[in-house]
Amino acid sequence: MNDLERLADDVRRADTVVAFTGAGISAPSGVPTFRGDDGVWDKFDEGQFAYGRFQRDPEGFWADRLELQREMFDGEFEPNAAHEALAAMGRNENLEAILTQNTDGLHGEAAPASDGTGGPDTDDETTILELHGNSQRVRCTDCGKRRDGDPIFERAAGGELPPTCDCGGVFKPDVVLFGEQLPGAVIQRARSLARESDVFLAIGSSLVVEPAASLPRLAASSGATVGIVNLESTPCDGIADVVYREDVTDALPRLRDLVLE
Ligand code: APR
């Protein structure tokens, strides 16, 4: 039995499987990763997008954010075979939740499901928890209203910097910025899912950004089988039961076929 077959066997026998994904699962869809060759942080300085910069200089923040959104989300991009394979496992098996660091919304497009913020879960729905928020939305920093991002990005590109809400408040991309806390409820939910999991799959993430990067360790310390699918090594490889160095668009469909056969 090879590593992937072993992992599929553990997934089949598990009551609760949790998947944790990073930029690597969306790279085949054309969304650039942050680190590694040609990564976003080779072209931009993380500090430009920090929460302190947004508070200090919202106009300059928004001008840079528009450039980042163009770089990351330019043109049409859609779920790839890896997103679809996870969605299929969610529909047919015990995939309890997908915890994603990605803000591209592609897991939701592949498998419309509850968003994990308390919406009613039906038994067969997979919770999708967007730990870092969603770049396709904006949120008013005064009234808290969330809006579809496209029309607001257009207004900002037309010179409204920063774009403002009807209430007069400044809009912020609905993502967790560097230096900003993840919403307590979200990280608590993610931690309890990691603790409850029998199998924890870390897919397409360098596993370096906290607190998300601690989730595989939390799952392992709670007795879960940890499987890592990633092209490069990660700091969690040592605690994983299976490390699979393969492209997500090869590994995930094969894992799905083995699990659902
Ligand atoms: N198949 C498998 N793995 C891949 C593929 C692929 N096709 N393409 C890239 N990878 C791997 C890379 O080897 C890399 O280790 O995906 C990983 C992506 O790592 P990062 O770019 O660091 O992305 P991520 O782990 O999601 O970053 C976490 O950092 O900057 C913040 O908020 C940002 O959510 C992001 C967080």
CA of 24 to the centre of ligand 1 (A): 4
Alpha carbon 107 to chain centroid, angstroms: 8
Which residue ranges form the domains of the chain, and what is each CATH number? 1-30+78-132+182-261 (3.40.50.1220), 32-76+138-175 (3.30.1600.10)
Per the model's pLDDT, the better-predicted residue between 183 and 218 turns out to be 218
Tell me the catalytic residues. 132
Question: Which stretch of 42-56, 89-103, 147-161, 171-185 has the lowest confidence by average pLDDT?
Answer: 89-103
At 93 the pLDDT is 67
CA atoms of 216 and 226, how far apart (whole Å) = 7
Quick check: CB of 163 below 6 Å from ligand 1? Answer: no
**From ligand 1's centre to the CA of 8, what distance in Å?**
23
Q: How many whole angstroms from 21 Cα to the centroid of ligand 1?
A: 8
Q: Residue 162: pLDDT above 80? A: yes
Confidence of residue 210 (pLDDT cuts 50, 70, 90): confident
Cα separation of 189 and 211, whole Å?
A: 13
Model confidence at 74, pLDDT cuts 50, 70, 90, reads: confident
**β-sheet bridge partners, residue 137:** 148
pLDDT for res 115: 47
CB 156 within 8 A of CB 66: yes
| Closest residue by CA, ligand 1 atom 30 | 34
Phi/psi-derived region of residue 219, left when phi > 0, alpha when psi is between -120 and 50, beta in every other case: alpha
**Ligand 1: does its nearest atom lie under 6 Å from the Cβ of 209?**
yes
Chain centroid, CA 246 distance in Å: 19
Question: Does the Cβ of 196 fall within 6 Å of ligand 1?
Answer: no
Look at residue 138 in the predicted model and tell me its pLDDT: 97
User: How far out from the chain centre does Cα 190 lie?
Assistant: 12
Question: Ligand 1, residues 35, 44, 215: which to mutate, most atoms within 8 A of Cβ?
Answer: 35
User: Do β-strands 133-140 and 171-175 pair in parallel, antiparallel, or remain unpaired?
Assistant: antiparallel
Q: 204, exposed or middle or buried, with CB in 10 Å at 0-12, 13-18, 19+?
A: buried
Q: Is the CB of 33 under 6 A from ligand 1?
A: yes
143 is in an annotated binding site: yes
At 249 the pLDDT is 98
Q: Quick: pLDDT tens for 113-131.
A: 444 443 334 445 789 999 9
Write out the two tokens for 185.
């409820």
pLDDT at residue number 116 = 46
Residue 158 has which token pair? 């037309």
For 28-47, what is the mean pLDDT? 92
Q: d(Cα 83, Cα 40) in Å, to the nearest integer?
A: 21
Quote the pLDDT of residue 124.
57
ipTM of model: 0.98
Q: If you search the block for the tokens 């209430």, which residue do you land on?
A: 167
Say whether 236 counts as a known binding-site residue: no
pLDDT tens, residue by residue, 78-88: 999 999 999 99
The sign of the dihedral angle between the CA atoms of 244, 26, 35, 200 is negative
Average pLDDT on 27-54 reads 93
Q: Is 167 annotated as a binding residue?
A: yes
Q: Is the CB of 216 under 6 A from ligand 1?
A: no
Query: What span, in angstroms and rounded, lies between the C-alpha atoms of 74 and 69?
Result: 7
